A and B are shown apart, each in its own frame.
Chain A
Amino acid sequence: MNAEHPLARYRVEGNPYYRATGAEIEVFEAAHADRIPMMLKGPTGCGKTRFVEHMAHRLGRPLITVACHEDMTASDLVGRFLLDAEGTVWQDGPLTLAVRHGAILYLDEIVEARQDTTVVIHPLTDDRRVLPIEKRNELIAAHPDFHLVVSYNPGYQSAVKDLKESTKQRFVALDFDYPSPQVESEIIAHEAGISEDVARLVVEIGARSRNLRGHGLDEGASTRMLIQAGRLIGRGIPVREACRIALVVPVTDDVDMRAALSRAIEACIA
């Protein structure tokens, strides 16, 4: 594709490392073949974003990522008129861009967006596969390569912030969770550039933190946090200290919880 192509800058460069933990690659490929909208569910930092990047590269599709937030409006997704010297010009939003030219659109943390924003994807995610742009009085039929992927973290807020049933029911969903210790050690060794032995220790320590989920912590340490601990260790910070600043201090301010977690980390260290 030449550099002028509107999606040129959305090509995924390199081959983002992704270690499969199950059949997710095959499942995604199958869903992609029929452009079935895909929902990735799972706790923070468990590899959802990385997975989409990897798949986009693997399938040779451009990837447009939108981090959803509460103040996001439908115009932020669809596009808006801007003023320039000649008058008003229309600028496609990320959704329209993906729909028009054919890309994977990844709406990260879709629950963060308000429900009246998320409904714009409805006509795109059923048999119609069209995007009406009211402001321009335009109806775009989706490019054959357009594929919608969203992520969703069923956390504490689920009952208050939730997708509409009619939104949910448009997707097939993959459950993501932290990988098995063996796989997670591999990932951490790779991402943090540390030995597998040290990575295994970090994973063992991570398991302690995950055990406290619901027993004083809202969430246990994510793969992302463990990688960060691993990176600090790789840079020469002693294990205890690295774990304290990467795994204990960020997640809780409760004195007892900190002490409990620190003790458990200590128990893992030979």
Chain B
Amino acid sequence: MTTAIAVGGTAPDTFDVLGRMVLARETLAPSFREASAVAEGFAPDLWDDWCASALALQRANAGVACTLAFFAATTRLGRRGDLATPIAVARAAQAICREAGSRAATALTSAAETLVGLVGVEIDPVLTALVDLSQKRPEAVEPAISVLAQVLPVVGSSAYGEWLAAGLRAYATDKVRLIAYVALEDPLARERLRDHGRAGALRRAMPEAIGFAAALSGEKPTIRFAHGAARASLAAPIVVMPESFPDVPAEEQGALAAAVLAHATAHRLFGGAPFDPRRLKPVQIALTSLIEDARVETLALRRFPGLARLWRPFHVIGPDTARTVPFLMARMARALFDPAYEDPEHWIAKARALFDAARDRLDDPSISREIGNLLGNDLGQMRLSFNAKTWVVDPIYRDDHAGLWTSERPPEAEATEIDVAVEAMKRKEEERDDGRPGDDLPPETDEAVGRARPAPASEDDGTVIGRLPEWDHEAAQERPDWVTVRAYRPNATAEEAVDRLNDVVSGPARRVEAMIRGARLGLPQRLKRQGEGDMLDLDAAIGAAIARRVGEAPDHRVYRRTDRKIRDLATLIMIDTSESTRDRLPGRSNRVLDVEIEATAVLATAIDALGDRLALEGFASDGREDVRITAVKDFADRFDTTSKARLAGLTPGRSTRLGAVLRHGGRRFAGQRAYRRLLVVITDGEPFDVDCDDPIYLVEDARRAVRELRSAGIDAFGLGIGATHTTGDRIFGRGNFVALARPEDLGKALSALYFRLASR
């Protein structure tokens, strides 16, 4: 062992063993020295982890090539400040080595740098998927790694597992074809890859498109994805999107997403009450819908003329198409949209004439029915048949019309006649909140439909730690001792969970720490009237001079100095662990709760390094007798492995009784003598509890609780993840609640909030 290494190591045992194993082999020694010198420069935790993972790799007999590749990756990535990746790769390589042998493991350690280039920090899902593959089809691992550079840019790291899983499902018993699949040599693999590409492009485009729609209408649409849908479907305020539009190339999915939401917005702004489909033929339903589309779009264009440029490229039909109903309908849609479009068909000219005649009363939705019926009769006389079952709306950015009709079941005899509407309704039932195809759902999600599910039998009943009042807004009085608060034992979590948390968190935490620390140093405070200092405080000096002249005893504190601002701040973060936090993020494998946990961990790590006071608790509720608090970290505790394990071990379940949580939080500040006391609640939904059917009740109670806190000098802030939060502003007060459309933004928002408060 070299002395340089012996001095700095914080994991002497692991390191000694590792050193003995490695240095015994001449081929490894130089690159080991180089790699360990780099790794040692990192924080002690990371250095320990690195030694442990290197040792584990040795013990798994991964072979010289694998180890060399690992050391090389450590050196190169480590010099760029990234030790987490080599550690994660070594762990995965060790697992893969066990199942698939050292060649596969070597392929992985050799690919470490490439992987970082492909997916950046989001490497874990890929590693997990590969380890999983090694357990199911060890032979497939090496070929899979060899094409990562083609696959990952398209599917992205979070959906990589999904793409592999599709192959495993299709070729469960056919080893040869599965290997062809993972190596991209199978047509199905390429097909699925294209799907992912388009779906990924569409998903990536959604935040922009949603913001665009919100800018147009002032209301943010809620998006769900439906597997296998051909067109969007409206169920205000929800827009159900297809996972992707199959015939549209990936690079156009973004414009299409915007066009779809602009069209949905036109319905939202200018649409009327739903039409009644009874006694209408399918063709009339379709035509009425198309006229309604034209009506709302025309109105929208009067206000937003630029939308014409967005929609026009999707009107691709021409007059030279066959004289069948679907083509005629698409041509009519184009004719009503695009004044420059020419079409020799008499029926189209008539549609135009009817629509033009109605232009000065377009505000009236009933014109859609009128014109639709007339045109439908004409088509009947033209003896053209229409099959509502196979028809899909064109242009592609239009919704499927389901949202335009009442869903009342028509009399039996006419059941088939509104297939258009019904079909679409059915499709909506398939929608999934997480937007993933139904067959890929992890089994637990199926049980999670209800918001509050029964507790596992083995769980403790919690220790009663207090009773709290609640505010009954209807009676306008407080119900004393109405709510029982119980403390629950934190779950024990496996060490790996803590390791993972550390990995995910360390990078961002350092940035946040630097940011807050910088704020403290960057905003110096002028301290006046000091007993000593490097400058004279003019006011004080003059005061002293005057005092002396009039014969009074002067105050000798006549200096001023500049000092770092001292943050005197105690913060309590309360984390919503209600059932809905079990939901997965669209297209991702992590749950809302995971996002909460990671964001909190980032801030807690940063704050811990700065020495500010921070307490963390999880909350849920199961009726007023059981408001459930899980302590994670007290103000005085360090954010150490124990608190991290508790944080990582928070589990979703039950409901959200916000007022009680806020009051409980307020009490936690007792004894915290800080200049500013800050209570932050991270929640993913509206207040809700199993024993409250009046939705206003808990909102008003929470609102009152916030006011109580304020008068006690505690600032309460709310951060709302996902979904639309309609009551956050009301509860916390405008400006003290931030709704985060994208859960991923929570970390940023939480840290920014603390930063803003801490730097005041």
Q: Which of B212, B309, B526, B735 contacts A155 (CB 8 A)?
A: B735
Does the CB pair B741–A215 fall under 8 Å? yes
Question: Is B202 an interface position by the 8 A CB rule?
Answer: no
A171 to chain B, nearest CB (A): 19
**Which residues of chain A are within 8 angstroms of B735 by Cβ–Cβ distance?**
154-159
**Minimum C-beta distance from B585 to chain A (A):** 16
Contacts of B756 in A (CB 8 A): 156-157, 160
The residues in A between 250 and 270 inclusive whose CB is less than 8 angstroms from any CB of B are 256-257, 259-261, 263-264, 266-270
Cα separation A211 to B211 with both chains bound (whole Å): 9
Q: Is the interface of B mostly helix, strand, loop or mixed?
A: helix
A61: CB under 8 A from chain B? no
B window 732-760: CB within 8 A of A: 733-736, 739, 741, 756-757, 760
* Cβ-closest chain B residue relative to A266: B306
B715, A212: Cβ atoms closer than 8 Å: no
**A1 contacts B by Cβ under 8 Å:** no
Q: Is the CB of A100 closer than 8 A to any CB of chain B?
A: no
A267, B310: Cβ atoms closer than 8 Å = yes
Contact of A211 among B208, B215, B739, B760 (CB under 8 A): B215
Which residue of the partner chain, among A159, A264, A266, contacts B710 with CB atoms under 8 Å? A159
- A263: which of B208, B538, B760 is its contact (CB, 8 Å)? B208
Q: Which residues of A contact B218 (CB under 8 A)?
A: 211
CA distance A270 to B304 in the complex (A): 7
Q: Are B539 and A160 interface neighbours, CB within 8 A?
A: no
| B305-A260 in contact (CB<8A) | no
Residues facing A in B515-544 (CB within 8 A) are 526, 528, 538-539, 542-543
For A81, what are the chain B residues with a Cβ–Cβ distance below 8 Å?
Answer: 539, 542-543, 546
- Does A50 sit within 8 A of B, measured CB to CB? no
User: Known contacts A259-B208, A260-B211: does B305 contact A160 (CB below 8 Å)?
Assistant: no
The residue from A70, A82, A261, A269 contacting B211, defined by CB atoms under 8 A apart: A261
Tell me, in angstroms, the Cα distance from A225 to B209 when the chains sit together: 24
A139 within 8 A of B: no
Query: A215 touching B220 by the CB < 8 A rule?
Result: yes
Bound-state CA distance A4–B511 (Å) is 57
B609 interface contact, C-beta 8 A = no
B262 interface residue per 8 A CB criterion? yes
Known: A88-B542, A160-B760, A211-B218. A267 touches B304 (CB 8 A): yes
Say whether A236 faces chain B, with CB atoms less than 8 Å apart.
Answer: no
250-307 of chain B: CB within 8 A of chain A:
258, 262, 303-307
Q: Does A209 contact B (CB under 8 A)?
A: yes
State which residues 203-231 of B face A: CB under 8 Å: 207-212, 214-218, 220
**Is A69 in the interface zone, CB < 8 Å from B?**
no
Distance in Å: Cβ of B561 to nearest Cβ of chain A? 14
User: Could you tell me the distance in whole angstroms from the C-beta of B723 to the nearest C-beta in chain A?
Assistant: 13
* Residue of A135, A208, A215 most packed against chain B (CB within 10 A): A215
CB of B211 within 8 A of CB of A270, answer no
| Count of interface residues, chain B, beta-carbon cutoff 8 Å | 44
Q: Does A80 contact B (CB under 8 A)?
A: yes
Q: How near does chain A come to B145, taking the closest CB pair, in angstroms?
A: 32
Contact of B306 among A214, A261, A267 (CB under 8 A): A267
Q: Tell me which residues across on chain B come within 8 A of A266, comparing CB atoms.
A: 306, 309-310
Interface assignment of A216: CB less than 8 Å from any CB of chain B = yes
Instruction: Determine the chain B residues whose CB is within 8 A of the CB of A70 once the complex forms.
Output: 760
Q: Out of A158, A209, A264, which one reaches B733, CB within 8 Å?
A: A158
Q: Which single member of B208, B262, B305 contacts A270 (CB below 8 Å)? A: B305
- Residue A3 CB within 8 A of the other chain: no
In the complex, whether B245 has a CB less than 8 A from a CB of chain A is no
Nearest-neighbour CB distance to chain A for B314, whole angstroms, equals 15
With A215-B211, A260-B208, A269-B305 already in contact, the answer to whether A160 and B216 are too (CB < 8 A) is: no
Task: Given A88-B542, A268-B304, decide whether A159 and B717 contact each other with a Cβ distance below 8 A.
Answer: yes
Q: How far is the CA of A109 from the CA of B303 in the complex (A)?
A: 36
CA distance A264 to B216 in the complex (A): 6
Interface status of A71 (Cβ within 8 A of chain B): yes
B306/A212 in contact, CB under 8 A: no
- Are the CB atoms of A260 and B736 closer together than 8 Å? no
Task: Given A81-B543, A88-B542, A212-B211, decide whether A267 and B739 contact each other with a Cβ distance below 8 A.
Answer: no
Contact B215 A264 (CB under 8 A): yes
B545 within 8 A of A: yes
**Does A83 lie at the interface of the complex (its beta carbon under 8 Å from any beta carbon of B)?**
yes
Instruction: Kindly state whether residue A161 has any CB partner on chain B within 8 Å.
Output: yes
CB distance from B527 to the nearest CB of A (A): 11
CA distance A257 to B215 in the complex (A): 10
Nearest Cβ on chain B to A265's Cβ, whole angstroms: 8
Asked if B103 is at the interface (CB within 8 A of a chain A CB), the reply is no
Instruction: Collect the chain B residues with CB atoms within 8 Å of residue A270's CB.
Output: 305-306
Q: List 16 A-B contacts (CB under 8 A).
A: A71-B526, A82-B542, A88-B542, A155-B735, A156-B756, A157-B760, A159-B735, A208-B216, A212-B211, A214-B739, A260-B209, A260-B215, A263-B215, A263-B258, A264-B215, A268-B304
- Given A155-B735, A160-B715, 15 more A-B residue pairs with CB atoms under 8 Å apart are A83-B542, A88-B545, A135-B543, A156-B735, A157-B756, A158-B736, A160-B676, A208-B216, A212-B215, A216-B211, A256-B207, A266-B306, A267-B304, A267-B310, A269-B305
Q: Which residues of A does B touch, CB under 8 Å?
A: 70-71, 73, 75, 80-83, 88, 135, 154-161, 204, 208-209, 211-212, 214-216, 256-257, 259-261, 263-264, 266-270
Nearest 5 pairs of A and B residues by beta carbon = A260-B211, A264-B215, A270-B305, A267-B304, A211-B218
